[in-house]
Structure 1
Amino acid sequence: MKAIAINRYGGPEVVEYLDLPDPKLAPDAVLVRVRAAGVNPVDRQVREGLVDAVLDVHFPLVLGWDAAGVVERVGPGVTEYQVGDKVMGYVRKDSVQHGTYAELVAAPVRTLAHKPASLDWAQAGGLPLAGLTAYQGLRDALAVKPGETVLIHAAAGGVGSFATQIAVALGARVIGTAGEHNHEYLRSLGAEPVRYGSGLVDRVRALAPQGVDAAFDLVGGPALAASRELVADPGRIASIVDPAVLDLGGRFVFVRPDAADLAALADLADAGRLTVNVAATFPLAQAASAQSLNAEGRTRGKIVLTVD
């Protein structure tokens, strides 16, 4: 199979488009012919060696944790799927080697859900990791309830776009930070936009004089400090990027594969309550360029690799 892999850590120059053996199929897994694979900041962090201290890593390493595609074979212990099913998954395993930037991926059933009928391949490939991060952060870490006001930092980005829509679906009022060029986009998702940067606390209080009930930090640093000024209970602050949230008494969110949560996202999509904005697509062979664009941190929505 063709795949995007690395044999050492480094920048975009270490990314190779290789022929590799087809993956082995465990009894509790299905072999998926990938049609699209989402590009996420963590993929670049894996390439640079930044996860080596916390996860077992083996070379050659196929990058990527997001995928959408068609089931080609099923393991003998699998009853949830059959050949021909369209699926999507956050295919993170216990060690890092066999990723989703490939024509084929062996995916444990615990990492999969049926693809939403309302999404095309690129949209489905861009949903799992970022969507689950948003869903688990809002539902589990922050326990957002109807009628509450939630502040979402970087609300127009990959995770932020999903978090905004999910919070609205949970019945919350959303105040989202973004550059002014993304304010109309946030309004279209149901949020009240505010400009990030100096004076953020005052701008949020102009909309919510008593502060907010919860804050979801997707930026870190000053955004986390601003959250502490605006949220009365520090236990209602969660971050996906800055472990310093723990020192404040908040929650650090590291997304987990979860088939039920992924199916819930699919249901939201098919109910018209969750859309996937695909900012750009690249063919698999151009994965390095896709990662470089992702590293700029200015795209609205998701960057996705397409696999023919």
Structure 2
Amino acid sequence: MKAMMINAYGDSDVFEAHEIAQPTLKPGYVLVKVAATSVNTVDTMIRSMGNELPLSPELPAVLGMDFAGTVESVGEGVTTFKAGDEVYGCAGGLADLQGSLAEYMLADARLIAHKPKSLSMREAAALPLVGITAYEGLTRAGVSKDQKVLVHGGAGGVGHVAVQLAKHMGADVYTTIGREEHVALVEQLGATSINYRQETVADYVSQYTEGAGFDVVFDSVGGANMLSSFEAAALNGQVATTVSMLEIDLTQAHFKGLSIHVVFMLIPMLHDFKREEHGRILTELTNIADAGHLTAILDKPEFGLDEIGQAHDRLASGQATGKVVVSV
């Protein structure tokens, strides 16, 4: 089969096309013919940082975590899928798991679900990592009906899904954006837009919560932006973050009594820990999508497998809207 591999860590030009053997089927796994995959920030981090990250695979490696495709065959013990089923998931591209930048991949049946019928292969391939991340963060924060929820980065990969899921959960949703062309997009998804370049945190907390703060802040930007999340949160509020690899002053969080939820959705893949939870969440996302409450926003440039380096560059440019998707 054809695969895009890396033989060294580095810039986006390290990908090389190779012919390699199809994965050998084993118990509990399914062999998937990959139709599409998507690029996540963690993919670019593995490619560029390599051994600095504890989750990077040994070289040579096939990267790519998300996928949508068709089941080719099922291993012993697999009863929930059969050949011909259309599936999606996040099941490779790190540690000892071959990724999705190939014509076929082996996927643990616990990590996948039946693809939403309402979404194309490309749309479905965009959802697994960001969908699981958004769902986990919002549910851990206990989002419920009529709460005021702030999503930082609502036009991004994780953010645009978090906006839709929070809306589906009955919340009153607001989201920060940095580009005027994203106003219509996030409002179409169900959120009130806040241009963080034009409004201070104090301004929008006053305008939208009468100074009380948001019940839940979902921070898909993270890093230093967590201080803005602490400022925007209500007393005893909830903050979920997807990027918390930094030293930060927690004084404000302390005096507000905030609960902080760090979401790192790769734990089941890395440690073989409760992998069935990912399958369960993906099944729930399928139901939400097919009920008309969740879609994937795809960045406009379309890439093929041979253009994976360009796809990585597109995501790294900061100009992408939604998810960068690659057809296989």
TM-score bracket, shorter-length normalisation: over 0.9
Q: Secondary structure at the match of 1:278?
A: coil
Q: Which residue number corresponds to residue 192 of structure 1?
A: 192
Q: Which moves more between the two structures, 113-122 or 297-306?
A: 297-306
Distance 2:215 2:191 in 1: 15
Q: Secondary structure at the match of 1:161?
A: helix
Change (3 A) 1:94 1:66: closer
Q: Which residue number corresponds to residue 279 of structure 2?
A: 259
**1:164-179 correspondence runs (5 A):** 164-179=163-178
Q: Is the 8 A contact 1:87 1:115 kept in 2?
A: yes
Deviation at residue 93 of structure 1 after TM alignment: 7.6
Q: Which residue number corresponds to residue 239 of structure 2?
A: 237
Q: Secondary structure at the match of 1:138?
A: helix
Q: 2:290 pairs with 270, 278, 293, which one? A: 270
Is 1:203–2:204 an aligned residue pair? yes
Is 1:281–2:306 an aligned residue pair? no
Aligned residue-pair number: 306
Provide structure 1 residue ranges, at least 5 long, that are not aligned to the other structure: none
Q: Which residue number corresponds to residue 181 of structure 1?
A: 181
Change (3 A) 1:283 1:131: same
Amino acid at match of 2:263: V
Distance 1:119 1:173 in 2: 26
Q: Which residue number corresponds to residue 103 of structure 1?
A: 103
Q: When the two structures are superposed, what TM-score results if normalisation uses the length of structure 2?
A: 0.88
Distance 1:81 1:5 in 2: 28
Change (3 A) 1:235 1:46: farther
Provide structure 2 residue ranges, at least 5 long, that are not aligned to the other structure: 254-258, 267-274
Q: Which residue number corresponds to residue 46 of structure 1?
A: 46
Deviation at residue 113 of structure 1 after TM alignment: 0.2
Q: Which residue number corresponds to residue 294 of structure 1?
A: 315
1:162-204 deviation per Cα after TM superposition (whole angstroms, max 9, x unaligned): 0000000000011100022211111101100001146233123
Deviation at residue 24 of structure 1 after TM alignment: 2.1
Is 1:218–2:220 an aligned residue pair? yes
Amino acid at match of 2:264: F
Q: Secondary structure at the match of 1:143?
A: coil
Q: Is the 8 A contact 2:163 2:189 kept in 1?
A: yes
Is 1:147–2:146 an aligned residue pair? yes
Distance 2:104 2:16 in 1: 16
Percentage of matched positions with identical amino acids: 39
Please, what is the CA RMSD of the aligned residues?
A: 1.9
Deviation at residue 64 of structure 1 after TM alignment: 0.6
Distance 1:191 1:185 in 2: 9
Q: Which moves more between the two structures, 154-163 or 223-232?
A: 223-232
Distance 1:56 1:195 in 2: 36
Deviation at residue 120 of structure 1 after TM alignment: 0.6
Q: Is the 8 A contact 1:175 1:204 kept in 2?
A: no
Is 1:9–2:19 an aligned residue pair? no
Distance 2:95 2:224 in 1: 33
Amino acid at match of 2:167: V
Q: Secondary structure at the match of 2:326?
A: strand
Amino acid at match of 1:261: I
Amino acid at match of 1:253: V
Change (3 A) 1:213 1:252: same
Q: Is the 8 A contact 2:46 2:56 kept in 1?
A: no
Distance 1:246 1:214 in 2: 20
Is 1:84–2:94 an aligned residue pair? no
Distance 1:246 1:160 in 2: 24
Q: Is the 8 A contact 2:57 2:93 kept in 1?
A: no
Amino acid at match of 1:206: Q
Change (3 A) 1:116 1:96: same
Distance 1:188 1:120 in 2: 20
Change (3 A) 1:74 1:22: same
Is 1:125–2:146 an aligned residue pair? no
Q: Secondary structure at the match of 1:35?
A: strand
1:112-168 deviation per Cα after TM superposition (whole angstroms, max 9, x unaligned): 10011100110011111111111111112x111111111110111111110000000
Amino acid at match of 1:204: V
Distance 1:285 1:147 in 2: 46
1:54-110 deviation per Cα after TM superposition (whole angstroms, max 9, x unaligned): 225211110111010010011012111111111001114872451011100000001
Q: Secondary structure at the match of 1:48?
A: helix
Distance 2:182 2:114 in 1: 31
Q: Is the 8 A contact 2:91 2:97 kept in 1?
A: no
